[in-house]
A and B are shown apart, each in its own frame.
Chain A
Amino acid sequence: MNATTTEAVLAETEEPQAADLFAKFEPLIQERDNLLAAGVRDPFAIVMDEVKSPTEAVIDGKDTILLGTYNYMGMTFDPDVIAAGQEALEKFGSGTTGSRVLNGTYQGHKACEEALQEFYGMDHAMVFSTGYQANLGIVSTLAGRGDYVILDADSHASIYDGCFLGNADIVRFRHNNVENLEKRLAKLPPEAGKLVVLEGVYSMLGDIAPLDEMVPIAKKYGAMVLVDEAHSMGFFGEHGRGVAEAQGVLDQVDFIIGTFSKSVGTVGGFCVSNHPKTDFLRLVCRPYTFTASLPPSVVATATTSIRKLMHAGNKRAHLWENSKRLHQGLRDLGFKLATDEPESAILAVLLPDQEKAVRMWQALLEHGLYVNMARPPATPVGVYLLRCSLCAEHTAEQVEQILGMFEAAGKATGAIS
């Protein structure tokens, strides 16, 4: 047997090479490597060395104004909130080590659920370990085989993942398009169970949903309605209950989903409802049942914060002032924003491509301002943006400082002339 024949035999008998599981990520890996090779910092690898207040931190040794957190109501350093957490840590220890349905329900979890019931004026509340898990659990548990989930195309990943975890048929409608929602609902079998999933504030563009039109349409077709108010809790509506309250349709919403990691200022998720069977979900909702409950200090801080948010009218008013001033100021400088008017505490500054967005993001950081850079798939196709999230604790002076930084960075990078 000559050498060539041996190689041929070997090639025939060799085990087939398994596919590289990372190969599918190669285009993204390349894109990221190219970006970093161009000398910019990684926008997704920011480390806060020190956090001085809800609006200030030290990043890479530099004092920085925070305009990219979800700390809308600035509760993270509230003295009462911190004291409640410290007391719970002392009295109940550092963690529960177990699930809510076994050893993981402490007095603090019940107190937190009572605070949520009062906050929303609803009969039932379930606390989850994160907002992500609240959506994952409720969407996947409510809608089963033969049912339909009808969701906005721009829905948060946790809602999509809830759909993938369940067995229902999933139907999307165009973002915030009332007519499109109705067309889809009209095409579905009238007798099938239906869950329409909406969000109060859409986090990437900072736009709000026309819930006053959408919720009645969902009801007309016999659907249950779930509204995710993650980015609106504390800020919208007379009692801070969200966009559904502000638009007068809260009483028609079956389930409100929310989070503690934004306005409440800690971590966790929840579902509130007037549905009489809500509590049964505790036994059948996998992301609730099969995970550890929140540590006592976390539910204690959440409870105190939620109770304080019931009376935060002044903070709400100041946050609206900040949002209006920053929106107008950025437009006057020549920036393009995702919404014509300020609709929420989120203002999205649109940039033409990833490179411009990253350069602008880095220039702002060098001036001492942190914002979020976002790109697809977190944003719609072709949309690159810098997301600014205001806090009720930003002072009027800080807002002017922020505008000065945007002007300097915008001119330096050519984003504005």
Chain B
Amino acid sequence: MTDRATTFASVKDLIEPFNAKGVELDESTTFAGDLEWDSLTVMDFVASIEDEFDIVITMNQQAEIETVGQLVDAVEELK
């Protein structure tokens, strides 16, 4: 697997505990629309991403991230 594919797989695993509706995940899955996450869920999830990859995603950066693919790209950049 490429680095990006590995990151994608890890992100998918981290989404699962918050994926209450069992939405099928791909690059274009949106957090607000498809996963229907509220701001509190986002907060918990972002903390788990930060801990897993040992990165910091500022709230300002989070505002720009709408899809799973965009998150994976951001993680790749911040790692």
**A positions within 8 Å CB-CB of B:** 148, 153, 163, 169-174, 180, 183-184, 187-188, 376-377, 380-381
Contacts and interface: CB of A to CB of B under 8 A. Distances in A.
Interface stretch (B2-10, B48-56, B68-76): B48-56
Interface string B25-61: 0000000000000111101101100110011101110
Contacts of B60: 169-170
27 contacts: A148-B58, A153-B43, A153-B47, A169-B58, A169-B59, A169-B60, A171-B56, A171-B58, A171-B59, A172-B43, A172-B46, A172-B47, A173-B47, A174-B47, A180-B51, A183-B51, A184-B50, A187-B54, A187-B55, A187-B56, A377-B38, A377-B39, A377-B40, A380-B40, A381-B40, A381-B41, A381-B44
Given A153-B47, A180-B51, A381-B44, A170 B58 contact: yes
A184 B57 CA distance: 10
Contacts of A187: 54-56
Contacts of A172: 43, 46-47, 59
B59 A188 contact: no
A384 to B, nearest CB: 13
Contacts of A169: 58-60
Contacts of A381: 40-41, 44
Q: Is the interface of A mostly helix, strand, loop or mixed?
A: mixed
A376 B58 CA distance: 22
A172 B36 CA distance: 22
Contact of A163 (B46, B54, B59): B59
A106 B21 CA distance: 58
B40 A376 contact: yes
Contacts of B44: 381
A155 B59 CA distance: 14
Given A171-B56, A183-B51, A187-B55, 17 more contacts: A153-B47, A169-B59, A169-B60, A170-B58, A170-B60, A172-B43, A173-B47, A180-B47, A180-B51, A184-B50, A184-B56, A187-B54, A376-B38, A377-B39, A381-B40, A381-B41, A381-B44
A174 B49 CA distance: 12
B30 to A, nearest CB: 16
A163 B58 CA distance: 12
Interface centre among A153, A163, A170, A172 (most CB of B within 10 A): A172
Contact of B59 (A170, A180, A184): A170
A188 B40 contact: no
A340 to B, nearest CB: 23
The 4 closest A-B pairs by CB, nearest first: A170-B59, A169-B58, A187-B56, A381-B40
Contacts of A376: 38, 40
B54 A183 contact: yes
A170 B60 CA distance: 7
A145 B39 CA distance: 24
B52 to A, nearest CB: 12
B1 to A, nearest CB: 26
A171 B38 CA distance: 18
Contacts of B43: 153, 172
Contacts of B50: 184
B38 to A, nearest CB: 7
A161 to B, nearest CB: 12
